Amino acid sequence: MKDFELFDLETQSNTKDNQDILNIKNKKHKRDIYNPVAAHREAEAKQIAVWKAYQEAIVKSGQLTSDITKGIQAGEKIEVLFLKAIECISLMAGDKLFYELNKNNLKNVYGFSTENPEK
What is the mean pLDDT of the segment spanning 26-30?
Answer: 57
DSSP string, the chain: ----PPP-TTT-TTSHHHHHHHHHHTTTTGGGS--HHHHHHHHHHHHHHHHHHHHHHHHHHHHHHHHHHHHHHHT--HHHHHHHHHHHHHHHHT-HHHHHHHHHHIIIII----SSTT-
Domain assignment present for 28: yes
Domain assignment present for 83: yes
Domain assignment present for 118: no
pLDDT tens for each residue of 55-97:
999 999 999 999 999 999 999 999 999 999 999 999 999 899 9
What is the mean pLDDT of the segment spanning 48-54?
Answer: 93
Question: Domain span at residue 94?
Answer: 16-110
Total domain count, the chain? 1
Domain assignment present for 38: yes
Confidence at 43, pLDDT banded by 50, 70, 90: very high
Domain assignment present for 8: no
Confidence at 119, pLDDT banded by 50, 70, 90: very low
Domain assignment present for 9: no
Domain assignment present for 4: no
Confidence at 113, pLDDT banded by 50, 70, 90: confident
